[in-house]
A and B are shown apart, each in its own frame.
Chain A
Amino acid sequence: MTRYVMVVDESRCIGCQSCTVACRTWNDLPLDIIYNPVVSEGTKGTFPNVYRTWTPTQCMHCANPECVPCCPTGASQQDDDGTVWVDYKKCMGCKVCVNACPYGMRDVSHMVKRFDQYVRKCTFCRDRRKMDPTAQPYCVQTCHQRARVFGDIDDPESEVSKLIGTHRTERLFTELGTDPQIYYIPEMGGGAR
């Protein structure tokens, strides 16, 4: 089986937002839709003893997603490889999945025609992988810092498996039981999550 996950190395991320813009342009997103914001609480501490952590976020492609079972039309769905995505041809824009996501990673655009709003979200660049199975999500390819690593966690030889095996990783909001599949390698000495 193939199970796609992403490992995000916070010690490499510098908060340049390239992935955010790259995603917006590759997917031709409306302005108010951001699939993968890179967030930070800002610099903490007392000058000059300070620290800062950047957290590149995106859809967690949860193993146990909140957003799939709540969908009344079946538009919100999950592939066998773990990719959670929305079939725009089935979506009617009820936004229940948007409200269901604990990570805030789905939304409809308010900058498109009023009655043509469907729910959009990160698809791990399903379109790219459809065209070329070896393709990486575009945010991964565009990251100069290689802070984002994408791959198959079921393949013990994959880079993600190795990273998860050799680093302490954290995941967001595991207490909700969503089993998110974005693994964070925390910034050394960085802020506690």
Chain B
Amino acid sequence: MKHHYWEAPIVLYLFLGGLGGGIFFLSAVFDLIVMPGSGPLFFAPVFVALAALALGCFFLVFELGQPPVFWRVFTTKTAIIKWGAVLLSVAMIFGFVWWLSYLYLLGWDWAGGFGLGLAGLRPFLLAVAGIAGFGIMVYTGVMLSTLKAHAFWATPALPVLFTISALSTACAAVALSLGGAVDPSLAAFVFSEIIHGTIHTVDIVLVLAEIVVLLVMVLSFFGAGNVTAKAVATRWVRGKTAPLFWGGMVGGGLVLPFILYTAFAGTAASTVVAPVLVLCGGLLLRYLCVYSDERAPIPGEERFYSRLPKKDAAFLTAWKQGENRY
């Protein structure tokens, strides 16, 4: 039974959330552990992350039935979605403040003062944002995988896949945006080259891992899933979704970037085209997964819903209440 209660905004939200979370995570790892002092280089990536999260939140709220009361998510209960909302808020607030502390990089003198004031807090801010970012990456997959009504979602492989994909897209985004808005000094240039190199390698690994997890998940459903999951997997592997899955997701989103990363390292194909492809692949993955919300039907349910009117049926709008004709 296919119903699509969640649609495109949720796809974008899951993608952007994972992306933003991943960038925070990477920024934190590099600035705090791998390469202390590289902070200014991540000024632009963090901006991208903030934008991604903000946009993601916008889509999430937009998809709500009642956006004006979105704050109700923070009211009472403990639920997966609530954790997601908290993580998102934390990452955005801390990340934003960290980003503000580097605002002077844009050449605005007035920003220098509080930049210095916040400088001491930077490691703490970024650490919190990074941890929250990691949480968001995992959360996007966990949220779907706990909904066991949908056989294709209810697998531990899904959070893993989403986390890897989020990280991979974050790598791509960092690769594209690293160092932006920073005057290239020699030190910065060196840092930037090292980070680029590291990320390049990391993303190759992630892409490979993603291919493995994705294929394991889809093919195991295809071979051994329950009726519903198998039907979805079949659709992916050789049904209506197969061109998007094989051509778009696996081919364009994973294999091709892998080839470009490895065989064309150092060229624009590796530094620009491949990350863009990875980003597209990540979006496509979310799209394919969200729209695989098949639920085991109650016998006869499909026949019932198939006979209901199409959305444009004339009688649905022919008579307006309160408007007497004769």
Q: Which residues of A contact B (CB under 8 A)?
A: 31, 37-42, 53-55, 57, 66, 69-75, 90-96, 98-104, 107-108, 111, 115-119, 172-173, 176, 191, 193
Q: How many residues of chain B get a CB closer than 8 Å to chain A's CBs?
A: 40
Q: Which residues of B contact A (CB under 8 A)?
A: 1, 3, 5-6, 63-70, 72-73, 75-77, 79-82, 85, 143, 146-150, 293, 295-301, 303-305, 316
List residues of chain A with CB within 8 A of the CB of B146: 70, 100
Other than the given A96-B79, A104-B3, 14 more pairs (CB < 8 A) read A39-B298, A40-B300, A40-B303, A53-B299, A94-B63, A94-B64, A96-B81, A99-B293, A102-B149, A104-B298, A107-B5, A108-B65, A115-B67, A172-B298
Closest Cβ–Cβ distance, residue B66 to chain A (whole Å):
5
- The reply to whether A70 and B81 contact each other, CB–CB distance below 8 Å, is yes
Decide yes or no: A72 and B79 within 8 Å by CB, A95-B6, A108-B65 being known contacts: yes
- The reply to whether A115 and B299 contact each other, CB–CB distance below 8 Å, is no
Q: Is chain A's binding surface mostly helix, strand, loop or mixed?
A: loop
A193 to B5, CA, bound (A): 26
Taking a contact as CB atoms closer than 8 A, the residue among B72, B82, B150 that contacts A99 in the complex is: B150
Q: Which residue of B lies closest to A38 (CB)?
A: B304
- The reply to whether A69 and B79 contact each other, CB–CB distance below 8 Å, is yes
Closest Cβ–Cβ distance, residue B181 to chain A (whole Å):
36
Taking a contact as CB atoms closer than 8 A, the residue among B82, B300, B305 that contacts A55 in the complex is: B300
List residues of chain B with CB within 8 A of the CB of A92: 64-67, 69-70, 72-73
A75 to B297, CA, bound (A): 26
Closest Cβ–Cβ distance, residue B299 to chain A (whole Å):
5
Task: Give the number of residue pairs across the A-B interface with Cβ within 8 Å.
Answer: 131
Closest Cβ–Cβ distance, residue B232 to chain A (whole Å):
15
A75 to B82, CA, bound (A): 13
Q: Which residue of B lies closest to A93 (CB)?
A: B65
List residues of chain A with CB within 8 A of the CB of B82: 72
Closest Cβ–Cβ distance, residue A98 to chain B (whole Å):
5
Q: Which residue of B lies closest to A192 (CB)?
A: B299
- The reply to whether B304 and A73 contact each other, CB–CB distance below 8 Å, is no
Which 9 pairs from chain A and chain B are nearest by CB?
A93-B65, A117-B65, A39-B300, A102-B149, A72-B81, A72-B82, A74-B76, A39-B304, A73-B72
A92 to B293, CA, bound (A): 21
Q: Which residue of B lies closest to A40 (CB)?
A: B300
Closest Cβ–Cβ distance, residue B199 to chain A (whole Å):
34
- The reply to whether B72 and A39 contact each other, CB–CB distance below 8 Å, is no
Interface centre among A66, A72, A116 (most CB of B within 10 A): A72
List residues of chain B with CB within 8 A of the CB of A104: 1, 3, 295, 297-298, 301
- The reply to whether A90 and B298 contact each other, CB–CB distance below 8 Å, is no
A-B contact pairs, 5 of them (CB 8 A): A72-B82, A94-B64, A98-B5, A102-B149, A118-B65
A93 to B69, CA, bound (A): 9
Taking a contact as CB atoms closer than 8 A, the residue among A39, A54, A70, A96 that contacts B301 in the complex is: A39
- The reply to whether A193 and B75 contact each other, CB–CB distance below 8 Å, is no
- The reply to whether B65 and A116 contact each other, CB–CB distance below 8 Å, is yes
Decide yes or no: A70 and B64 within 8 Å by CB, A42-B300, A55-B299, A102-B295 being known contacts: no
List residues of chain A with CB within 8 A of the CB of B3: 104, 107
Q: Which residue of B lies closest to A31 (CB)?
A: B316
- The reply to whether A91 and B77 contact each other, CB–CB distance below 8 Å, is no
Closest Cβ–Cβ distance, residue B29 to chain A (whole Å):
30
- The reply to whether A70 and B73 contact each other, CB–CB distance below 8 Å, is no
List residues of chain B with CB within 8 A of the CB of A70: 79-81, 146-147
Q: Which residue of A lies closest to B226 (CB)?
A: A175
Q: Which residue of A lies closest to B80 (CB)?
A: A70
List residues of chain B with CB within 8 A of the CB of A115: 65-68
A108 to B5, CA, bound (A): 8
List residues of chain B with CB within 8 A of the CB of A173: 296
List residues of chain B with CB within 8 A of the CB of A93: 64-66
Decide yes or no: A116 and B300 within 8 Å by CB, A70-B79, A73-B75, A96-B81 being known contacts: no
